[in-house]
Amino acid sequence: MESHISWIELSLLILEALLLVFTIGLLWLSIKEGRSRDSLIMEVTKATRTLTQHEYFITVVDAMMDARKEVFGVITGRMPKGDDKKRTREIVLNLEKLRDSRVNVKYVLPRFHDRLHIGWLYTKAGAEVYYSSCAHVHDLRYMVVDDKLSLIGLPESVGEKEATKKGYRLPSEGLARILKAGFAICLNDSVSYDEFLRDTIRQTGAPMKTLSGELGIPEEELMRIKPEGDDRPSGPVCVNP
């Protein structure tokens, strides 16, 4: 009887030892997996950092100034309001510096008339501006510098008219190539700033002065772009009450 009990106790001790070894093994694997996961998260964090609206704007400006060959991007091109006016002026100043440094800059904007103001500002500063109706332009907003660094902006809520509230900085040549391919597709389905503004002038019968106020573009610029033979009045047309 005592021998039988001893055998049972020995079996239980062996089983407990095996369970202990198994538990230690699981714990070790868990620690190893946790370290690997933490390492992966750290690497991703280094490469991808969420930026606030202010940080995103500063990063855009800094990236532009680091450009040596090319900058291209898709932007909303909304008429700037409030603090955006100051940011737009700073971007325009940087575009002028890039022009002087012979850096090629291209932007594609949604093909809406209210985006012509930004087109005028950026074109005047030396950038090539195009307008497209492709879905890529309405869904994304990004900038790529020298085929190496990508900056992706996100709105606070879904909607092409929503302001960019945060963004991501991604130093990835692979992502830059993917974005460049999409950019090329939209570029092939676009019209230049001059063409789009000329079409807009042609489609409306409004006097140049009225059109100037609506688009936020100087009247002299409209006169430069207007179609040949367009002799509409400069001032507002009188309408009987």
Taken in order of first residue, the domains within the chain and their CATH numbers are 49-191 (3.30.870.10)
| pTM attached to this predicted model | 0.73
Question: For 164-218, how does the pLDDT look when each residue is reduced to its tens digit (9 = 90+)?
Answer: 667 888 898 999 999 999 999 999 999 999 999 999 999 887 888 999 999 999 9
Residue 128: strand pairing partners = 106
Determine contact, residues 228/198, Cβ cutoff 8 Å.
Answer: no
Query: Looking at the predicted structure, is the pLDDT value of residue 153 above 60?
Result: yes
What value does the mean pLDDT of the chain take? 82
Question: For 26-56, how does the pLDDT look when each residue is reduced to its tens digit (9 = 90+)?
Answer: 676 666 666 665 565 555 444 545 567 778 8
